[in-house]
Structure 1
Amino acid sequence: MKWFSVLIAGVVLMMSGCSSIGGQSQQWAPPPMAVPLQPSIQQEVQIARTTQLLLRNDINDQERAELHFQRGVYYDSLGLRELARYDFNQSLSINPAQPDIFNLLGVYFTQVGQYDAAYEAFDSTLELDPNNQYAERNRAIALYYGDRVDLALEEMTRHYNDDPSDPFRALWLYIVEHETNQQQAFEKLTTSYANRDQQWGWVLVGLMLNEVPEDDAFMEIAAGAKDNLTLAQRLTEAYFYLAKRHQLEGEYAEAVSLYKLSLSLNVYEYVEHRYAFLELGRIFSDIRAERKQQLEEASQESE
C-alpha cells in the first residue's frame, strides 16, 4: 500500500512521505520535511502584554472586549482552546456583535460534537455578517459531521457555486456528496479539476481523485513552500485530505496514520488540524461498531 510502509519513518523524520509508482519497487525520494510549529517569542510576548493591559483600570469596554478577543486568538494559535474560549466569551459578554468570535466558537462546538450549539453559533455569525464565507462553509461541515447530510449538501452546494474556482470548496462538496451519491460526487470533482486554475490547492484535489501520484504531489508542495511555516501548513492540509480519501475507501489504518501526521505539525488554527481529531473519533467508532457486529454474528452462528 502506498505511503503506509513509510509512515513511521516519516514521523521520525518530521516528515511527509513518498511512494512507489505503479506498484514497482523504486528508490524512495528524500521526503519534504517540516519542523512542527512551536510557540514563538512574539506570541508569548503578545499574550503577556495583552494580559498586562487587561489588568489596567483606565481602558473602556470596547478596548477590553478587543483585548480579550486578541488574547483569545493568540491562545487559539497555540492550541490552548479552553483559554481561548474563556477570552472569547469574556469579549462577547462586553460586545455581543462579533461574528468572527461566533464562527470560532462554532468550530469548537463542532470539534467536540456539540452540533446544536455549533449551528446556533454559525447562525449568529451569519446574522451579523451575511457574507461570511467561512461561517457558511463551517456550518455546512458541522451539518455533515452532525449526520444532517441533506442539509449539508444543500449548503455546501450553494457555497461551492459562489466560487467554483476554489479548490477547497470543491473538496468539501465532494466529501459531503460522497455520502449520498459517490459516482456523482466523483464526476463533479473530476469536472472541477479539469477546469482548474493555478491555485496550489488543486494539487490536493488531484490527490483526492488519485490523479496525481503522491510523491509528485508532496514534492510539489515542498518546492512551492517558501519557509517552514508554509510547508507545515500545506502538509497539514495534504495529510488531512489524503487521509480522508483513504477513509472513504475503507482503508482505516492508512487514514488513521495520516490524520495523526496532520495533527503532528501543530498548525492549530487550520480546520484540517481541528477536524482531524473528529475524524479519528469517527473512525474508531466505526471500527468498534463493526467489531461488535462481527462478534454478535459469530455468537449467533455458534448457537
Structure 2
Amino acid sequence: MLIKALRTGCMLVTFGYLSACASTSSQAPQTVVLAKPLQVNYQSEVALARLGQMLNSGEYNQEQMAQLYYERGIVFDRVGLRALARFDFNRAIQLKPDFVEAYNFLGVYFTLAEEFDSAFEAFDSAVELAPDYSFAYFYRGIALNYANKPQLAMADVNHYADQAPNDPYRVLWRYLIQLEAGEPEAQNELVEALKTYRNEDWGWQIVRLYAGEIDQQTFLGTTMDVQGDNRALAERLCEAYFYMAKLAQRAGDPQLASSYFKLSLANNVYDFVEHRLALFELNRYESQI
C-alpha cells in the first residue's frame, strides 16, 4: 500500500525498531512515512529583515509599531524561534493593550511552559476583548485540559466546535477532551459527526482512524496523496503522527507515543498546534524520567 511513496518524494522506513518494544506493537504500522523536513524559506528571512528595518526606522506610530511587532512575532513563530516571538508579542501588547491575537499567542506560549495561571489570564483577556474569537476558546480549552481541569475545558472546546461543526479538527479535539472528561457518549458523537459532515478534507481521515474505520497503516497511506508537494506531506505527517501518539497514550504505551511525537516534530512544521503540543508532551515525558 505504501509502495507509491517515491512519487511523493517521501521515504518509507521499517517500523520494527518501534514496534519491537511497544506493548501495542500489533496495532503499529510496519513502516513509517517521512517527508523532507521543512527549512526556513527565503520569504521568511526577507520578512524578518524587512520588519526589523521598519521597526528601527522611527517612522511609525505606536499602534503601527504594535502591528509590526506582532507580524514579526508570527514569522519568528513560523521558523521556530519561539523565545523571540514571545518577546515580540509582549512588546505588541505593551504598545496596544487590546491586541487580541497577541494575547492568544502569549497564552499558547504560557501553556507550553506550563505557566497555566498566566495562560488563563492571557486567554481571558482575549475572550473579554473579543468574545467571538474562537481560537482563544480552543487554546484555553487545551490549557485547562493539560492543567487537569477537563470539565472546564469541555465548555471551551464545545464553544469552539459548535462554531464550525463540519471542521474535522474541531470534531477531533472535542472528542479528545471528552475522553479526558469521561464523557460516555464521546465515541458515538465522533462517529455521528463523521457520518454527518465528512467530505474530501484530509482531516476527516484522522477522524476515520479514531472512529475505527481504518487502521494506522491505511491511515498513513492517505498522507501521501499530495502530488509531490513536500510541504503538504510534511504538514500531514506532523498531524498524523501527533494523533497516532495520542492513540498510543490512550492505549497505555508511552514508549510508542514518544516515538510518534518525535516523528511529528521531525517535519519542522513549527506553527502547527500538533508540533507545539508534541514537543510539550515529550518535555512532560522527560520530566517524569
Residue 155 of structure 1: how far off its partner (Å): 2.1
SS in 1 for 2:202: coil
Equivalent position of 1:245 in the other structure? 247
Residue 136 of structure 1: how far off its partner (Å): 1.1
Equivalent position of 1:299 in the other structure? none
Whether the 8 Å contact between 1:18 and 1:218 is mirrored in structure 2 is no
Residue 216 of structure 1: how far off its partner (Å): 2.0
Residue 170 of structure 1: how far off its partner (Å): 1.5
Q: Give me the whole-angstrom Cα distance separating, in 2, the residues matched to 1:271 and 1:15.
A: 25
Higher relative contact order (CA 8 A, sep 6+): 2
Task: Find runs of 4+ consecutive structure 1 residues off by over 4 angstroms.
Answer: 13-20
Residue 143 of structure 1: how far off its partner (Å): 0.5
* Count, aligned residues: 270
Equivalent position of 1:79 in the other structure? 80
Equivalent position of 1:194 in the other structure? 195
Residue 79 of structure 1: how far off its partner (Å): 0.8
Equivalent position of 1:212 in the other structure? 214
Equivalent position of 2:6 in the other structure? none
Equivalent position of 1:47 in the other structure? 48
Q: Give me the whole-angstrom Cα distance separating, in 2, the residues matched to 1:40 and 1:184.
A: 45
Match 2:258 to one of 233, 256, 261: 256
Deviation string, structure 1 residues 65-117 (Cα, Å, up to 9, x no partner): 22211111111111111111111111211112211111111111111101111
Q: Give me the whole-angstrom Cα distance separating, in 2, the residues matched to 1:72 and 1:208.
A: 34
Q: Give me the whole-angstrom Cα distance separating, in 1, the residues matched to 2:61 and 2:156.
A: 40
In structure 1, what residue type is equivalent to 2:45? E
Q: Give me the whole-angstrom Cα distance separating, in 2, the residues matched to 1:284 and 1:209.
A: 30
Q: Give me the whole-angstrom Cα distance separating, in 1, the residues matched to 2:174 and 2:13.
A: 26
What does 1:138-177 align with in structure 2 at a 5 Å threshold? 138-177=139-178
Q: Give me the whole-angstrom Cα distance separating, in 2, the residues matched to 1:32 and 1:284.
A: 25
TM-score by length of 1: 0.81
Match 2:274 to one of 272, 278, 281: 272
SS in 2 for 1:131: coil
Equivalent position of 1:59 in the other structure? 60
Equivalent position of 2:238 in the other structure? 236
Farther-moved stretch of structure 1 (192-201 vs 123-132):
192-201
Equivalent position of 2:3 in the other structure? none
Instruction: Give the share of equivalent positions with the same residue, in percent.
Output: 39
Structure 1 gaps, min length 5: 1-12, 289-303
Residue 238 of structure 1: how far off its partner (Å): 0.8
Whether the 8 Å contact between 2:123 and 2:136 is mirrored in structure 1 is yes
* 1:221/1:87 CA distance change after superposition, 3 Å: same
What does 1:5-154 align with in structure 2 at a 5 Å threshold? 32-154=33-155
Whether the 8 Å contact between 1:18 and 1:214 is mirrored in structure 2 is no
Q: Give me the whole-angstrom Cα distance separating, in 2, the residues matched to 1:170 and 1:130.
A: 21
Q: Give the structure with higher Rg (CA).
A: 1
Structure 2 gaps, min length 5: 1-9, 20-25
Equivalent position of 2:5 in the other structure? none
Residue 233 of structure 1: how far off its partner (Å): 1.0
In structure 2, what residue type is equivalent to 1:157? N
Q: Give me the whole-angstrom Cα distance separating, in 2, the residues matched to 1:134 and 1:147.
A: 20
In structure 2, what residue type is equivalent to 1:262? S
Deviation string, structure 1 residues 198-225 (Cα, Å, up to 9, x no partner): 1221101122233212222222221146
